[in-house]
Structure 1
Amino acid sequence: MRFLSMIRINESSGQRPSEQLMADMGKLIAEMTAAGVLLDTAGLRPTAEGARMRLSHGKLKTTDGPFTETKEVIGGYAMLKADSMQEALELTSRFLKVHGDEWEIECEVRPVDEGCAPKP
């Protein structure tokens, strides 16, 4: 089964990853990729560089970022391969723990509906 782990951050905190965190994350990503449990991962650029599109009653509306009304935003994601939700949560906990004590983040983990997604 595949699971999407979405990392939620408070973008307005101004917190940026340190060089040490990036190195530690690189090691974790390499290890999990080699083990076959990490299929894809990336951080997302700030909302100031993004846009939102909304369809309402057949009409499309585009809003450029940043999205000041939103406290927490998706800051990154990991596509995981796991046999159960419990295993996906254990894998996600490794991403969270590598951040150390100074970060305030959370991850939302959801199974991918394999009936709708293309097979890798």
Structure 2
Amino acid sequence: MRVMVFVKATEDSETGPPPTEEMTAMFEAMGKFNEELVNAGIMVDGDGLKPTSHAKRIAFSGPDRKVIDGPFPNPNELVAGYWIWNVKDMDEAVSWAKRCPNPMPGPSELEIRPFYEIADFGEAVTPEIAAHEQKLRDKLSKE
């Protein structure tokens, strides 16, 4: 089962505080945790994201597109980083997440969301669509 683990943003992550000894210690602890994830075969990918002051959103309304420049409000609803994990079930994902060092200087949250798998869509996915999806995944795995 693949899951995406979101590191929720905070006021601190959105302002991009300068590095401090506390932040250095946090990065070291997170590096060790990431190494454990990799060594256990759990971590597929992961990274931190710049504050939304560097971001853009694209709003869709029918054929129209509107570009919205960051920063965006409500930091607790934003994402500051992510991991993609390959776990046996949600319980294993929660177990790993509980071992994670606090990813922010103050209070913070992780959110775990499972990916859809092709089988989740049942009969809506024809054999042709499934074959096309597999071809794309195979191509991605070679890059």
TM-score (norm 2): 0.71
For 1:24-103, what aligned pairs fall within 5 Å after superposition? 24-67=29-72, 69-72=73-76, 73-95=78-100, 98-99=101-102, 103=106
Bigger proportion of residues as strand: 1
Ranges in structure 1 where 5+ consecutive residues have no aligned partner:
none
Q: Quick check: 1:3–1:80 contact (8 Å CA) kept in 2?
A: yes
Give yes or no for the alignment of 1:11 onto 2:15: no
Q: In proportion to residue count, which structure has more helix?
A: 2
Moved more, 2-11 or 99-108: 99-108
- TM value normalised by structure 1: 0.84
* DSSP-derived class of the 1:18 partner: helix
For structure 2, the 5+ residue unaligned runs are 119-132
Residues 54-75 of structure 1, C-alpha deviations (whole Å, 9 max, x = no match): 11122111111111x3232100
4+ residue runs over 6 A deviation: none
- Closer, same or farther in 2 for the Cα pair 1:99/1:15, shift >3 Å? farther
The CA distance in 1 between the partners of 2:27 and 2:34, in whole Å, is 10
What is the CA RMSD across the aligned residues, in angstroms?
A: 2.4
Deviation at 1:52, TM superposition (A): 0.6
**8 Å contact from structure 2 (residues 7, 103) kept in 1:** no
What secondary structure sits across from 1:110 in the alignment? Answer: strand
Q: Deviations over 1:68-87 (max 9, x none)?
A: x3232100001011111111
Q: Distance in 2 between matches of 1:19 and 1:55?
A: 40
2:7–2:81 contact (8 Å) kept in structure 1: yes
State the Cα distance separating 1:94 from its structure 2 match: 2.0
